[in-house]
């Protein structure tokens, strides 16, 4: 296999979803630009060029409100599955392993192996930080996206207010507004529904070959067994 072929195979999951993300973002920008311009034209205002649209809070609030909910979903899932289990779900750990587990099970400190990450073997803050790094980075992206949603949402909302000759509002008013919480919670509810579906449907349904599923012949009661 050529070097390129090997690169594509070894990283197919990241590359396929990454390219899908970029194409979807481009599509969102094209559709969002057309939608905003139709609003502007209906109000006898100048349409924006596509490039100008990419620099608007109108575009950025739509992007970041969806980002925050996705990263909230995965943060909650990563951290929640440490302690919460579901009998029969491959998404769950075995019932007796709820919690942060022993150093031996986690291969940290004295139990680290030759090929363990260096900070897994380290003591003190390095190990403490590295032991939580996945949840921390996902949560950080969630919090920053949500904050960015609130900042760009304020500007986009005020823009709309001004177009309708209404009083603009500030950030503190906006984050307590129905518009902000409607945008936020409509995304949260769908993410939490999808997670609930993954956990409970995977008890009884199977997808042959997927690591998100148990093996097709696995018992419904088998917990924490991935295909």
Partner 1 sequence: MAQARVLFVLFLLGVFGGLAYAFTVGLTHR
Verify binding: residue 40, partner 1, rule CB under 8 A. no
**Binding segment (CB under 8 A) for partner 1, from list 125-133, 141-149, 178-186, 191-199:** 141-149
Q: How far is the CB of 16 from partner 1 (least distance, A)?
A: 12
**Binding segment (CB under 8 A) for partner 1, from list 5-13, 37-45, 123-131, 215-223:** 5-13
Can you list the alpha helix ranges (DSSP code H) found in the chain?
A: 3-10, 12-42, 50-54, 57-83, 103-106, 118-121, 125-130, 133-163, 171-174, 178-204
Please name the residues in contact with 76: beta carbons below 8 A apart, sequence gap of 6 or more: 195
Q: How far is the CB of 208 from partner 1 (least distance, A)?
A: 26
Q: How far is the CB of 149 from partner 1 (least distance, A)?
A: 8
CA dist 125 and 8 (Å) reads 37
CA dist 85 and 139 (Å) reads 21
Say if residues 29 and 35 touch (Cβ distance below 8 Å). no
Verify binding: residue 184, partner 1, rule CB under 8 A. no
Verify binding: residue 60, partner 1, rule CB under 8 A. yes
Residues near partner 1, by CB under 8 A: 7, 10-11, 14-15, 18, 55-57, 59-60, 63-64, 67, 137, 141, 144-145, 147-148, 151-152, 154-155
């Amino acid at each position: 296999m050529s070097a390129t072929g090997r690169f594509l195979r070894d990283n197919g999951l990241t590359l396929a979803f990454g390219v899908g993300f970029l194409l979807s973002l481009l599509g969102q920008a094209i559709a969002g630009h057309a939608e905003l311009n139709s609003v502007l034209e209906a109000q006898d205002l100048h349409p924006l060029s596509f490039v100008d649209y990419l620099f608007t809070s109108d575009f950025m609030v739509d992007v970041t409100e969806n980002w925050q909910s996705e990263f909230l979903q995965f943060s909650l899932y990563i951290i929640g599955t440490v302690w919460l289990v579901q009998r029969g779900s491959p998404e769950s750990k075995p019932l007796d392993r709820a919690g942060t587990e022993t150093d031996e099970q986690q291969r940290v400190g004295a139990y680290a192996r030759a090929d363990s990450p260096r900070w897994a073997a380290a003591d003190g803050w390095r190990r403490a930080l590295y032991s939580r790094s996945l949840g921390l980075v996902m949560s950080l992206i969630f919090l920053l996206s949500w904050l960015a949603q609130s900042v760009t949402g304020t500007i986009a909302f005020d823009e709309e207010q001004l177009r309708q000759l209404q009083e603009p509002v500030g950030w503190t008013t906006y984050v307590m507004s129905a518009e902000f919480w409607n945008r936020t919670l409509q995304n949260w509810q769908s993410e939490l529904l999808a997670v609930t579906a993954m956990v409970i449907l995977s008890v009884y349904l199977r997808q042959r070959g997927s690591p998100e599923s148990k093996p097709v012949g696995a018992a419904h009661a088998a917990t924490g067994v991935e295909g």
